[in-house]
Amino acid sequence: MAIINENYLKLPGSYLFAEIARRVTGFRNDNPNANVIRLGIGDVTKPLPPAIVKAMHAAVEEMAHADTFRGYGPEQGYSFLINKIIETDYAARGISIEEDEVFVSDGSKSDVGNIQEIFGINNIVAITDPVYPVYLDTNVMAGRTGELKDGMFEKVTYLPCNAENQFKPALPDHKVDLIYLCSPNNPTGTTLSKAELKKWVDYAKENDAIILYDAAYEAYIREEDVPHSIYEIEGAKEVAIEFRSFSKNAGFTGTRCAFTVVPKTVMGKKANGEEYPLNKLWNRRHTTKFNGTPYIVQQGAAAVYTPEGQEQIKAIVDYYMTNAQIIREGLASAGIEAFGGVNAPYIWLKTPNNMSSWSFFDKLLSEANIVGTPGTGFGPSGEGYFRLTAFGNRENTEEAVHRIKTRLSL
C-alpha cells in the first residue's frame, strides 16, 4: 500500500472557502426563499472586455485551419505576450526585465503555491498574518512548517498585521529565508508604500532572504506612493520574485492566465554555499510540470495591452473600486470600522462588539443574507476581522449595504 504525505494531515480542518460553501449551503437549504448576496470569495462578475473576446475569437478561428493551427507552444509563454508584458508593465515604469525572466502560467494561485518547490525544506518561512491561505498551506504540505500548536505552526515566522500597526508588518527580529508579501494585500486591502517596501528589500539583501511578492491586485492602486511592482524599489531585482495575474483586472478568473517574473540576478544557495540562479530552477520546474498556457488564452491576454484593452480594463477596475467606496462608506455610516478599499477591491472590517469572525459570518448570513469571509480563516491575527469584496454587481453591492444598515442588529 502506498504511503501518504502526512504533511497534508497537518492542515487544520476544511479549506476556508470550502467551509464557507458548507455553511451557505446549509443556510440555503433551511431558507430556500432567501436572496443571498455573495461578497465573500474574490471572484469577478463583469464579463471579459470586448477587445479580449475579439482576440480570442480570432485565435479560435486560427486553430480551425491547418496553416494557422498551433499545438504545443513554448512552456514559458509566447513572445507576443511576454514582450507586451515587459513593455507595458515594466519598461513604462523604468524597469528593465528580459524576455526569459517572464513565465506565463494558468494563474498566480498556481505559481505562488508552486514556487516553494524550488526551495529546500529547511528554509525558515515568514508570512504576514492574516494571509492568503495558499502561501501557508503549500508550505505545510511540503513539510516546511512543523506542527500546529495553539493555532500557529511552530517553524513559521508570523508577522502580525492589525489596526494597531496599521496592517504594516514589522521586520522579523531574527533571520528568515523566504518572505511572502502581498500588496495590495489580500485580505486586508491595505498596501505598502515605497519607503516601507524598501525596508523589506534591504532586510532581504542583508539576510540573504528571498521575497515572494504577490502583486495580483496592482491594477487597483490609486495612491502615487504605492509601487505597482516591487522592482520599482532599488535592489529588488536581486532578492524578489513577483507574481502578476489577469484575473482581477481583465476578468480572467475562469479563463486562467498570469505570469511570474524571476530575474536572473535573484540567487539561492546550494548546501555548499555556492550561489545558483533561481531563474534556472523555476524554468526547469515550469517546463517539466507545465505544457504552457493555451494559445487562445494568451492572445486574449495580449489584447489587454492594446489601447482598447487598456481602456476597457480600466473601466472594469473603476467599476469595482466604486463598489469598494460604496461598501466603505456604508459600513462607516453603520458604525462599523473598516480598512482597505482605497487601493484594493477588499474591505477589511473590525467585527462589532468584539464578536468572533465566524460568529459575525453567521450573523451577517442569517440577518442580512450576505456572505463574507471570516478573518480568522486567513490566520490567527484575522480573528475579530472580516473581509468583504467589491467584485459583485452594483445592484447587489448597494442592496448589501442597505441590508447592513437596516437589518443587522449591532
pLDDT at 185: 97
Residue 66 DSSP class: T
pLDDT at 141: 98
Alpha carbons within 13 angstroms on the beta-carbon side of residue 312 total 19
37-38 and 370-371 as β-strands: parallel, antiparallel, unpaired? parallel
Contacts of 111 (CB under 8 A, 6+ apart): 103, 105, 243, 258, 260
pLDDT at 60: 98
CB 197 within 8 A of CB 185: no
Q: Tens of pLDDT along 305-341?
A: 999 999 999 999 999 999 999 999 999 999 999 999 9
pLDDT at 14: 67
pLDDT values of the chain reduced to their tens digit, one per residue, 410 residues: 999 999 999 998 767 778 898 999 999 999 999 999 999 878 999 999 999 999 999 999 999 999 999 999 999 999 999 999 999 999 999 999 999 999 999 999 999 999 999 999 999 999 999 999 999 999 999 999 999 999 999 999 999 999 999 999 999 999 999 999 999 999 999 999 999 999 999 999 999 999 999 999 999 999 999 999 999 999 999 999 999 999 999 999 999 999 999 999 999 999 999 999 999 999 999 999 999 999 999 999 999 999 999 999 999 999 999 999 999 999 999 999 999 999 999 999 999 999 999 999 999 999 999 999 999 999 999 999 999 999 999 999 999 999 999 999 88
Report the amino acid identity of residue 268: G
Report the candidate in 61, 71, 73 with the shortest Cα–Cα distance to residue 293. 73
The SS3 call for residue 54 is helix
CB 382 within 8 A of CB 357: yes
Q: Tens of pLDDT along 186-208?
A: 999 999 999 999 999 999 999 99
pLDDT at 5: 97
pTM surpassing 0.75?
A: yes
Q: How many residues belong to the chain?
A: 410
pLDDT at 19: 86
Report the candidate in 345, 344, 375, 340 with the shortest Cα–Cα distance to residue 358. 375
Question: What are 297's three cell numbers?
Answer: 488564452
Q: Is 152 exposed, middle or buried (0-12, 13-18, 19+ CB in 10 A)?
A: middle
**Domains plus CATH for the chain?**
8-47+309-406 (3.90.1150.10), 53-306 (3.40.640.10)
pLDDT at 42: 84
Question: What are 123's three cell numbers?
Answer: 528554509
